[in-house]
Amino acid sequence: MSRILPPEILSRFVRFLDADKEEDMQALRTLAITSSVFLRSCRSGIFYHIKLEDTKNQTRSHPSSGRKSPGEKVLDLVNSTPWVTKFVRKISIYDVSQPSWLSNDLKVPEALNKLNLEQIEHFVLHRGYRTQWRQLSTEIKAVIMKICRSPALVRLSVRRTPMSLLGVVGPTLKHLEVLETAASPDEHIKPVPRDSPLSIRTLHIRHAHDLVGNIKWLVDSAKNEVRLDSLDKLHFLATKEKDHDHVPMLLEACKTSLKTLNFVPHPAISDPRSHFFDIAVSTALETLSVKVDVTTPDIEGGRNCLEWTSNFISRISKSNVIRIHLLLEWDLSDAPGDIEDTSRSLFFSSLSHYLRTLGTAVCNTQKYPRIQELDIELKSTNPVGDDTPHIERFVKQALERIPTPDLVTLRAQPHTPSGDWY
């Protein structure tokens, strides 16, 4: 009996490696030269994702000699090894710095057009603050829209682009991320007729200035041929308090299908007794997840996000959720008082009260008749040091006296100092 696994079985192990992670990429490269058994599957992993970005912002109208632009690098790759093109399934373009490198990189259209764009399954186009769609060349816009029209496209993530791009996407799209997109129509992007409307399964949405415009665009199914009645996962990030008030519009559009709601309330909410919404309309909802910035102060110094979340959970009329997940982020570097001595700290004494109120509400079987777990995840973002043990002890003590403490699962993430996201 042979002790060697068949090649098709061995090659399956490669699928567990993620080429976007440096350590996994190194493993793929090593395997590729170790045995011919792994060669094709390793190449599929290594060249699955083509990423164009100018991390050092080197591309200008007149690039320095010897420095290749992102477009030139991809063009060199496909010209020197044409077989790479059959493996590419994901394209990411990150144009987030000033000035825009994408506006000046004349090689991008040529490079991308050498790929088989009809097999692209995942497209990411993220642009930065002050980048403008109208400043892109006709050729770059054309290749972007060509990628969006891929008959294999399943995932699309766009940031600071026209929402009109969705008008050229085919009905295969299931997973959509729209961040800071412009809801106003773009006269240069003509919608392509579809046999059936887009039926989105997962949606991630955020907008600092025109969130309601984006939501209205998405729920106007008659005009834009986008349906949300099969949506089963919604990720909603609020950049201001009034964003909370627009959640019901989306919940109504997917009220019988939504199973998971991930909500990030505005961290510096000034009034913890307002801007609530009820999830009772979502009759299929199984998981409610809320990310809470416990310690970030608002403009007047108040730190109200946990209080708002406690009130929000307590005010829900009734829900069939099975699991409530809370990610509590703490930066104790400038928090008032001592987390180890709540008797002398009004701030931490209040936080303890809000946690107990929240936990008690979740234990109410009239509100939550199907609840099985209150999953609380803790994360210390203190740039000075790791406060995780103190935070974990504090939260555990606060929840000891709720009616059903066995509902609570408490776990901690590795310490990660807070940082800006573009």
**Model pLDDT for residues 89-135, shown as the tens digit of each residue:** 999 999 998 789 999 999 999 999 999 999 999 999 999 988 889 88
**With bands split at pLDDT 50, 70 and 90, how would you rate the model's confidence at 222?**
confident
Contact yes or no for 118/150 (Cβ under 8 A): yes
Residue 73 clears pLDDT 50, i.e. is over it: yes
Can you give the pLDDT at residue 187?
A: 80
Closest CA to 41 of 62, 72, 10: 10
Q: What is the mean pLDDT of the chain?
A: 89
Can you give the pLDDT at residue 35?
A: 62
Neighbours of 148 (CB within 10 A): 24
Can you give the pLDDT at residue 421?
A: 37
Neighbours of 353 (CB within 10 A): 15
Contact yes or no for 299/347 (Cβ under 8 A): no
Question: Residues of the chain with pLDDT > 90: what percent?
Answer: 69
Contact yes or no for 88/50 (Cβ under 8 A): yes
For 68-86, what is the mean pLDDT? 94
Strand 155-159, strand 175-179: pairing: parallel
Find all residues with CB under 8 Å of 34, minimum gap 6, and list them. Answer: none
- Over residues 272-287, the pLDDT tens digits come to 999 999 999 999 999 9
Q: Rounded CA gap, 233 and 144, in Å?
A: 27
How far apart are the two ends of the chain, measured CA to CA in Å? Answer: 57
For 369-384, what is the mean pLDDT? 96
- Over residues 329-355, the pLDDT tens digits come to 999 998 898 898 877 789 999 999 999
- Over residues 16-64, the pLDDT tens digits come to 666 666 666 666 666 666 666 666 666 776 778 899 998 765 555 455 5
Which residues are registered as beta bridge partners of 123?
A: 91, 156
Angle formed at CA 332 by CA 330 and CA 337, multiple of 5 degrees:
125
Which residues are registered as beta bridge partners of 126?
A: 94, 159
Q: In angstroms, what CA-CA distances link 102 with 129, 139, 177, 294, 400?
A: 14, 11, 21, 38, 55
Q: Where are any strands of DSSP class E within 35-78? A: 49-53
Can you give the pLDDT at residue 420?
A: 42
What are the structure tokens assigned to 232, written together? 């089963």
Q: Rounded CA gap, 361 and 403, in Å?
A: 9
- Dihedral through CA 373, CA 402, CA 312, CA 207, nearest 10? -50
Place of tokens 């887009």: 198
202 or 191, which is more confident?
A: 202
Can you give the pLDDT at residue 55?
A: 72
Q: In angstroms, what CA-CA distances link 117 with 144, 146, 152, 155, 287?
A: 10, 7, 9, 14, 36
For 181-206, what is the mean pLDDT? 90
Query: Whole-structure pTM over 0.85, yes or no?
Result: yes
**With bands split at pLDDT 50, 70 and 90, how would you rate the model's confidence at 206?**
very high
Neighbours of 345 (CB within 10 A): 17
Neighbours of 17 (CB within 10 A): 18
**With bands split at pLDDT 50, 70 and 90, how would you rate the model's confidence at 299?**
confident
236 or 186, which is more confident?
A: 236
Q: Rounded CA gap, 383 and 415, in Å?
A: 9
Closest CA to 102 of 51, 159, 53: 53
